[in-house]
Amino acid sequence: HSIPSHQNEDLASRTPPYPKLLERLGTVRKVLGSSRQLTLAEKILYSHLENPEESLLSNTNNGRDIRGQANLKLKPDRVAMQDASAQMALLQFMSCGLPSTAVPASIHCDHMIVGEKGADTDLPNSIAGNKEVFDFLESAAQKYGIEFWPPGAGIIHQSVLENYSAPGLMMLGTDSHTPNAGGLGAIAIGVGGADAVDALVDAPWELKAPKILGVKLVGELSGWASPKDVILNLAGQLTVRGGTGFVIEYFGPGVQTLSATGMGTCCNMGAEVGATTSLFPFSPSHVPYLYATHRGPIAQAAQNIASLPMAQNLLVADPEAVYDKVITIDLSTLEPHINGPFTPDLSTPLSKFKSVVEEKKWPTTFGAGLIGSCTNSSYQDMTRAEEIVKQACAAGLTPKADFFVTPGSEQIRATLDRDDTLSTFSSAGGTVLANACGPCIGQWNRTDGPKKGEANAIFTSYNRNFPGRNDGNRGTMNFLASPELITAMSYSGSTTFNPMTDSIQTPAGPFKFSPPKGYDLPSAGFAEGKSELLPTPGVPDPSVEVVVDPKSTRLALLDPFPAFPNTEFTSLRVLYKVKGQCTTDTISAAGPWLKYKGHLPNISENTLIGAVNAATDEVNVAYDVDGSNMGIPELAKKWKAQGQEWLVVAEHNYGEGSAREHAALQPRYLGGRIILAKSFARIHETNLKKQGIVPLTFANESDYDVLSACDEVATRGLLDTLRAGGKGEVELVVKKDGQESVIKTRHTLSQDQCGFVLAGSALNLLARRGRE
Ligand code: SF4
């Protein structure tokens, strides 16, 4: 596989800095003692520490209790950003006044492309509709030396796997499914834009040292079971909170049997259980994948490292490495699974799905089957689905449900086109959408007609299925499954159809699918695709001007948030008490709102509009002190105008879902100072601190019941805690009906994060340091 010219030039910047990492690993071994056995995640993370001694020894019982204790100050190798989150990341980066990014970076235009009729019409329409934003991103990329992947070039995680991910790499991505790159042995972590800015300006990026959850794979997949089923099953075992604070590290003999892209799928959906990231060790299938994607020299370098003595082998775990927890999955007995609706951890084995549908009275038919996306559009996925379509065509069947295919990148699209896979889908009635997120992120002009709120089902091979995510209809139940299973089920249109056991009637008699077969990699190599969809080179050009029109409704330069007052908060008010699930979609909805990602005042109009009022069960109905009611953003704006700062009270896993930093920026912009919850999702908790909002958890969860909307709240101990770098306790004094009660809270503020809050935001601090 020869290296295309554009990649040849860039291969140096795409190769992890192996000599430096090996040297660091040596330092880490010295600091911790040579007998200390390390997991793979520890090897890669600790080799990216700015100062191993400081991070690994302070507050960790002399290096014995690093996991869950140490604050790691890391220097990632690379940053990737998608178009929706890149806007705010770049606006923040620009306010630091640097001429170029400190590490290689890429921008991928994928989230803002609507899916409807097919790539040929959808893509030009979306480009026209978002021109101002794409022009902004492209000009900023050129100015600061960021590789720019234009609209239609592919979905961030697929492009990253094909071009940037590599064994031993550490990268940050401004998207929660960044861990997809772990399929190729990288530590890849989803973050908000402010965190990405740390790496872009060469400031260390801080992470509480994660615990390590080992997933031991034994046996080998066969028949209908696919890598997707590994993670669907694991999500069921762990639940949406089970991975919080952990890196999921796969190991065991079953690893050797998986394709590189299959491993990517497993890592992608580790985001659904809240894991910091997921990764696989360097494996036999990585080598042909790296060669096929024109990165032979990286494969060779990785093979060289893998042949070093174990003490220097950066790319696999030490043989006696100890995991904080181990889950074993036997691939040989693994059944296909279907997860959903409304939450990715509601996992049902295929054999039981029919009875669960009947018991729960879920719809027995479904309107659309959607395959592909960043999660499942590999050559293996698509050729397995293609084989199902061919079986059905030979039996004279046509899909009963609408059938959509989203290729993850131009490279995979062009390859599938050349190999006639796409024409097989199209001639069966399928619609091939643009190489972009489309329906996965609510950019779906759905035309098959269920009314808003009406219960209906769809099946997708995507990763996330919160209410309203795909078509803006909270009645739509999105069931997650492998592409091959969805393809087969689309021919029956029935949610209770089990292609492993059931038949479909045809004029020639009953037809039953055989288990799908596919190919891990294309025998003729990957096609390069359209040259206009290749990235621009990552070389800075200071002469480029980045223009933001002051009258724009899509982009607005950022004003710094005010610093923390020199006093405690004396009269915050509870803006809203949220009941139940509160995801980043709840706090900052996607779909049509994506167009305002670069305009903080405009996108703030959607703040918390999906949140359920704990007192009344209404969605997006907030009550002011005088009893009048209005939408949550309206009340927040009214209070902001009055100078009334506020807090939100919420339940568990507040901010689960994505890395969307707007879910922190918007409340901050509107006057939010504290979020008080039973627990937080990791990325969101960090995002809040970066934007100067204090996330607090209840010391006693039952205190959630003490608070109501509009209660007046004062802080006690917060200022001292911030000034003491996180050492101290914070209490909230709640005043209502002339009475005061005290709520004890917990926090996870590190010294650096206290600095962010005191300065008003992390960016304020970075900008101040830049000026000093
Ligand atoms: Fe795009 Fe969906 Fe993947 Fe996110 S999960 S990157 S929205 S395809």
CA distance 561 to 2: 50
Angle between helices 193-200 and 83-94 (to 10 degrees): 50
pLDDT at 9: 58
Q: What is the pLDDT of residue 681?
A: 92
In a domain, 339, yes or no: no
Question: What are 215's strand-pairing partners?
Answer: 250, 327
Residue 700's CB: how many other CB atoms inside 10 A? 10
Give the CA distances from residue 314 to residues 21, 30, 351, 527, in Å, rounded to whole numbers and listed in that order.
Answer: 8, 15, 41, 32
Q: Are residues 127 and 15 in the same domain?
A: yes
Q: Other CB atoms closer than 10 Å to residue 291's CB: what's the count? A: 18
State the first-to-last Cα distance of the chain, in angstroms, to the nearest integer: 50
Atom of ligand 1 nearest to the CA of 441: 7
Within a domain: 545: no
Q: Return the residue whose CA atom lies nearest to atom 2 of ligand 1.
A: 440
Instruction: Identify each DSSP E strand in 75-186 by its residue range.
Output: 78-82, 105-108, 147-149, 170-173
Ligand 1 atom with least separation from CA of 406: 8
Judge whether 405 and 378 are in contact, CB under 8 Å: no
CA separation for the pair 374, 435 (Å, rounded): 9
* 3 band by pLDDT with thresholds 50, 70 and 90: low
Distance, in Å, from the CA atom of 69 to the CA atom of 264, rounded to the nearest integer, reads 29
> Is residue 375 pLDDT above 70, yes or no?
yes
Residue nearest to atom 3 of ligand 1 (CA): 374
* Predicted local distance difference test score (pLDDT) of residue 768: 79
Rounded to the nearest angstrom, the distance between the alpha carbon of 187 and the centre of ligand 1 is 19
Mutation pick for ligand 1 pocket among 85, 107, 112, 157 (CB with most ligand atoms within 8 Å): 157
Q: How far is the CA of 441 from the centre of ligand 1 (A)?
A: 6
Residue 771's pLDDT band (boundaries 50, 70, 90)? low
Neighbours of 116 (CB within 10 A): 19
Mean pLDDT to the nearest integer, 410-415:
98
> Would you state the pLDDT for residue 463?
96
Write down which residue in 502, 525, 541 finishes a domain.
Answer: 502
Core vs surface per residue 647-678: b (16+ CB within 10 A) or e: bbbbbbbbbbbbbbbbbbbbbbbbbbbbbbbe
Distance CA 769, CA 772 (A): 5
Atom number in ligand 1 closest to CA 157:
6
Residue type for position 204? P
Kindly state whether residues 269 and 313 are assigned to the same domain.
yes
**530, part of any domain:** no
- Give 49's contacts (C-beta < 8 A, 6+ positions apart): 24, 28, 55, 56, 72, 73, 74, 75
Q: Give percent of the chain above pLDDT 90.
A: 88
Mean per-residue pLDDT for 156-175? 98
Q: Which domain, by its residues, includes 385?
A: 357-445+452-502
Neighbour-count burial for 86-98, b at 16+ CB within 10 Å, e otherwise: bbbbbbbbbbbeb
**For 220-272, how does the pLDDT look when each residue is reduced to its tens digit (9 = 90+)?**
999 999 999 999 999 999 999 999 999 999 999 999 999 999 999 999 999 99
- The answer, yes or no, to whether residue 506 has pLDDT greater than 60, is yes
What is the number of other CB atoms lying within 10 angstroms of the CB of residue 617?
10
At 4, is the pLDDT very low, low, confident or very high (cuts 50, 70, 90)? low
Q: Residue type for 598, please?
A: G
Those residues with Cβ within 8 angstroms of residue 457's Cβ, 6 or more apart along the chain or in another chain: 341, 362, 363, 365, 366, 367, 476, 477, 478, 479, 495
- In this structure, are 487 and 582 located in the same domain? no
85: CA distance to ligand 1 center in Å?
12
Q: Place 547 in a pLDDT band, splitting at 50, 70 and 90.
A: confident
57 and 120 belong to one structural domain:
yes
**136 Cα to the center of ligand 1, angstroms:** 22
Q: Whose CA is nearest to atom 8 of ligand 1?
A: 437
User: Is residue 469 within 8 Å of 478, Cβ to Cβ?
Assistant: yes
Indicate whether 508 belongs to any domain: no
Ligand 1 atom at minimum distance from 408 CA: 8
Q: Please report whether residue 567 resides in a domain.
A: no
As given in the structure block, the two tokens for residue 478 are 């999105």
Contacts of residue 626, defined as CB under 8 A and 6 or more positions apart, other chains included, come to none
How confident is the model at residue 442, as a pLDDT? 85
**What phi and psi, each to the nearest 5 degrees, are found at residue 48?**
-105, 15
- pLDDT of 329: 98
Query: Does 62 reside within a domain?
Result: yes
Phi-psi region of 472 (alpha: psi -120 to 50; beta: other; left: phi over 0): left
Q: Are residues 42 and 171 in the same domain?
A: yes
Q: How far is CA 343 from CA 13, 71, 327, 479, 524, in A?
A: 38, 31, 21, 9, 39
Closest residue CA from atom 7 of ligand 1:
441
300 and 391: one domain? Answer: no
Give the residue, out of 113, 161, 177, with the most ligand 1 atoms within 8 A of its beta carbon, to mutate for a pocket test. Answer: 177
Structure-token pair, residue 573: 């008010």
**Cβ contact 653:685 at 8 Å:** no
User: What pLDDT sits at residue 398?
Assistant: 96
Catalytic residue list: 110-111, 175, 464, 658, 660
Q: Are residues 408 and 272 in the same domain?
A: no
* Residue 464 Cα: closest atom of ligand 1: 5
Residue range 119-127: average pLDDT? 92
Pocket test for ligand 1, best of 109, 175, 178, 406 (most atoms within 8 A of CB): 175
Between CA 293 and CA 415 the distance in angstroms is 12
328 and 362 fall within a common domain: no
The strand pairing partners of 504, in sequence order, are: 511
pLDDT of residue 2: 53
Question: Do 718 and 698 meet the contact criterion of CB atoms below 8 Å apart?
Answer: no
Alpha-carbon span 148 to 101, nearest angstrom: 13
Contact yes or no for 21/302 (Cβ under 8 A): no
Atom of ligand 1 nearest to the CA of 82: 6
174, 405, 460, 463, best to mutate for ligand 1 pocket (most atoms within 8 Å of CB): 463
Q: Find tokens 């219960």 and name the residue.
A: 455
Cα(114) to centroid(ligand 1), Å: 13
CA of 437 to the centre of ligand 1 (A): 5
Mean pLDDT of the chain: 95
**Domain-located, residue 230:** yes
Nearest Cα residue to 669 out of 695, 642, 640, 702:
640
CA distance 660 to 87: 12
Confidence tier at 660 by pLDDT (50, 70, 90): confident
Distance 374 CA to ligand 1 centre (A): 6
488 and 614 fall within a common domain: no
Q: What single string gives the DSSP state of each residue in 718-731?
A: HHHHHHTTT-S--E
For 355, counting Cβ atoms within 10 Å of its Cβ (0-12 exposed, 13-18 middle, 19+ buried), the class is: exposed
Handedness of CA 712, 716, 721, 722 (dihedral sign): positive
Which atom of ligand 1 is closest in space to residue 176's alpha carbon?
4
Decide if pLDDT at 146 tops 90.
yes
Residues 100-108: what's their mean pLDDT? 97
Q: CA torsion sign, 446 to 606 to 269 to 232?
A: negative
490 and 636 part of one domain: no
**Angstrom distances, CA of residue 345 to CA of 179, 241, 242, 270:** 18, 9, 10, 11
Q: Does residue 59 or residue 653 have the better pLDDT?
A: 653
> Which residue has a Cα nearest atom 1 of ligand 1?
437
Q: How many residues does the chain have?
A: 772
Distance from the CA of 43 to the center of ligand 1, in angstroms?
A: 29
The mean pLDDT value for 691-712 works out to 97
Which residue matches tokens 């960090």?
686
Residue 111 shares a structural domain with residue 244: yes
Question: Is 232 domain-assigned?
Answer: yes
Pocket of ligand 1 from Cβ distances under 6 Å: 110-111, 155-157, 175, 177, 373-374, 437, 440-441, 462-463
Closest CA to 328 of 217, 436, 244: 217
Q: What is the CA radius of gyration of the chain?
A: 25
- The whole-number average pLDDT for the span 71-100 is 93
Give the CA count within 13 Å in the CB-facing half-sphere of 198: 27
CATH of the domain at 476: 3.30.499.10
Structure tokens at 92: 């923040």
- Name residues whose C-beta falls within 8 Å of residue 745's C-beta, 6 or more positions apart in sequence: 676, 696, 697, 698, 699, 729, 730, 731, 732
Domain CATH for 681: 3.20.19.10
Instruction: Quote the ligand 1 centre to 548 CA distance (angstroms).
Output: 27
Torsion of CA 247, 253, 257, 261, to 10 degrees: 10
Whole-prediction pTM: 0.90
Specify whether 59 is located in the same domain as 167.
yes
> What would the pLDDT profile of 423-473 be if each residue is shown by its tens digit?
999 999 999 999 999 999 988 988 877 899 999 999 999 999 998 889 989
Q: Which of 109, 374, 469 to mutate to test the pocket of ligand 1 (most atoms within 8 A of CB)?
A: 374
How many domains does one find in the chain?
A: 3
Name the percent of the chain lying above pLDDT 70: 98
Structure tokens at 153: 């070039």
Which of ligand 1's atoms lies nearest the C-alpha of 658? 4
Q: Which two tokens stand for residue 607?
A: 């703040």
- Rounded-to-integer distance, Cα 116 and Cα 702, Å: 47
Q: What is the pLDDT of residue 445?
A: 85
What is the distance in A from the centroid of ligand 1 to the CA of 373?
A: 6
